[in-house]
Amino acid sequence: MRAADRVIVPLDVADVEGAIALINRLPQVTFWKVGLELFVSSGPAILRQLKAQDKQIFLDLKFHDIPQTMAGACRAAGRYGVDLVTVHASAGKAALIAAQTAAAAGAAAAGQQTPKLVAVTLLTSIEARSLAFELKVPLELSDYALQMALLAQESGLAGAVCSPQEAAQVRRFCGDDFCLVCPGVRPAGSDRGDQRRTLTPGQAVRAGADYFVIGRPITTAADPAAAFEQICQDIESENIPVRER
């Protein structure tokens, strides 16, 4: 897979017009992420636009609910023909299994390919102190993220969303067939914003990430196309092939 096909750029904008402007500005991006802000403001219209342009779509709505509700949401997501869908691993095994089954059923009913469900292990904006003292989780952060990834795998999901800082450990335990999607990737010297557990693109490749979700370092750059190209070169220069999943 080319590096350019592994960099997922979020459409973190307020409306469809803003999204289309960004897509047109970066024609070299093949994989776009539609998240909460855009989907809640504008609904699924942008998914049709992206499909019409043959783009890959990551629908990142991070479902977290009881099994019946997760199933309903994932059945509906499956009908859109998107490529990746997020759920929270902490919804638990029954909810993850229901989500996976329903996504496949929704996709099949609509004649679409089944999306890969990937489970968020622990948001990349959370640091060890918050996990311990706010969320009261009595595990080391890396162990908690690993346990959530293993839960996703046991539940039959295709992969996990994790910080690149935990990617190597998750890869070691979950194996090569498990898809790792890593936000919290920051080129050297770029502002980390609200991200807390970050690595550079080169470090993330070496840690075993399959996909890199990189937003603001590209979208707010003076020259977004050049920023995207530089990130692709950083990934490519590691010379670590990734298999198609």
Ligand X SMILES: O=c1ccn([C@@H]2O[C@H](COP(=O)(O)O)[C@@H](O)[C@H]2O)c(=O)[nH]1
Q: So which residues are the catalytic ones?
A: 60, 62, 65
Does the annotation list 234 as a binding residue? no
Long-range own/partner contacts, residues 142-145 (CB < 8 A, 24 or more apart):
142/166, 142/169, 145/121, 145/169, 145/170
CA distances from 204 to 19, 201, 243 (A): 27, 5, 16
Is-contact 163 183, C-beta < 8 A? Answer: yes
Under rule CB under 6 A, residue 164 binds ligand X: no
Instruction: Specify the stretch interacting with ligand X by CB under 6 A; choose among 168-176, 199-207, 209-217, 229-237.
Output: 209-217
Under rule CB under 6 A, residue 10 binds ligand X: yes
Closer CB to ligand X, 104 or 162, in the complex: 162
Candidates 214, 227, 231, 235: give the one binding ligand X (CB under 6 A).
214
**From CA 8, how far away is CA 182, in angstroms rounded?**
10
Under rule CB under 6 A, residue 127 binds ligand X: no
The candidate with the shortest Cα–Cα distance to 209, out of 240, 231, 173, is 240
Under rule CB under 6 A, residue 166 binds ligand X: no
Q: What minimum distance in Å lies between the beta carbon of 123 and ligand X?
A: 4
Place of tokens 């959530």: 148
Does the annotation list 147 as a binding residue? no
The candidate with the shortest Cα–Cα distance to 195, out of 120, 125, 122, is 125
Under rule CB under 6 A, residue 213 binds ligand X: yes
Residues near ligand X (CB under 6 A) are 10, 12, 35, 120, 123-124, 161, 183-184, 193, 195, 213-216
